[in-house]
Amino acid sequence: MILLDRVTKTYNKNGQALERISLHVEPKEFVIIVGPSGAGKSTLLKLLTREEKPTTGKIIVGGIDYETLKDKEIPLLRRKIGVVFQDFKLLPNKTVFENVAFALEIVGMGNKEIHHTVPRVLDIVGLKGKEKRMPRELSGGERQRVAIARAIVRQPRILIADEPTGNLDPKHAWDVIRVLEKINRFGTTVILTTHNQEIVNKLKRRVITMQDGQIVSDRANAEYRS
């Protein structure tokens, strides 16, 4: 599903962000990436979504070799990868339904299919009945679940959740984590970055620890101490 082979990323002005990272993630895995700020987590995610290119090394995601990937093929790649951010990135003047539907409109899906698909996805993330709410009328946890619905509505094979609980209180954080687990059970590969030790330790999933641009630990059913 995801393969990185000796990947290095160097920024001229900031030095080396990643140094010879090798990583393999199986389909349907739930992987947590931890590490202090500046460890290289964000750079790794940007490489996976092809926002950045590696300086050296090989990246293969879902059978696609990034080395031979043409620019015009990047939108198709990104349909296979859903991304959720810490700050939601919702459209403030669109309803919950419209925010999720927008992800389908931009790929040309018709109204009939949109009106069939969006309610099912909102039900998955626990927002049934809130289709007409505006983002400002929702709690932080609900806004994040709208963002997750938007990220998965095109049925990506991989979901990247980059600090999705960073702005949430413990209850809403766990609501979001439970949704991610549910999506993973449906067969989507989930990659979660977090600083939340409690979440990492309770989930007991595979934990990859990064530091100074390198993977320093990769353990199954692991706990994390920052």
| pLDDT value at 13 more than 70 | no
| pLDDT value at 35 more than 80 | yes
Domains, in order of start, for the chain: 2-89+157-219 (3.40.50.300)
| pLDDT value at 16 more than 90 | no
How much of the chain exceeds pLDDT 70, in percent?
96
Full-model pTM? 0.92
Residue 1 CA, chain-centre distance (Å), reads 15
Q: Give the residue with greater pLDDT, 221 vs 95.
A: 95
How much of the chain exceeds pLDDT 90, in percent?
80
Q: Which neighbouring-strand residues pair with 192?
A: 32, 161
With the C-alpha atoms ordered 119, 125, 129, 130, is the resulting torsion angle positive or negative? negative
The pLDDT, as a whole number, for residue 224 is: 66
pLDDT-derived band at 12, boundaries 50, 70, 90? confident
The pLDDT, as a whole number, for residue 1 is: 86
Q: Is the CB of residue 121 less than 8 Å from the CB of residue 152?
A: yes
User: What's the whole-number mean pLDDT along residues 177-185?
Assistant: 95
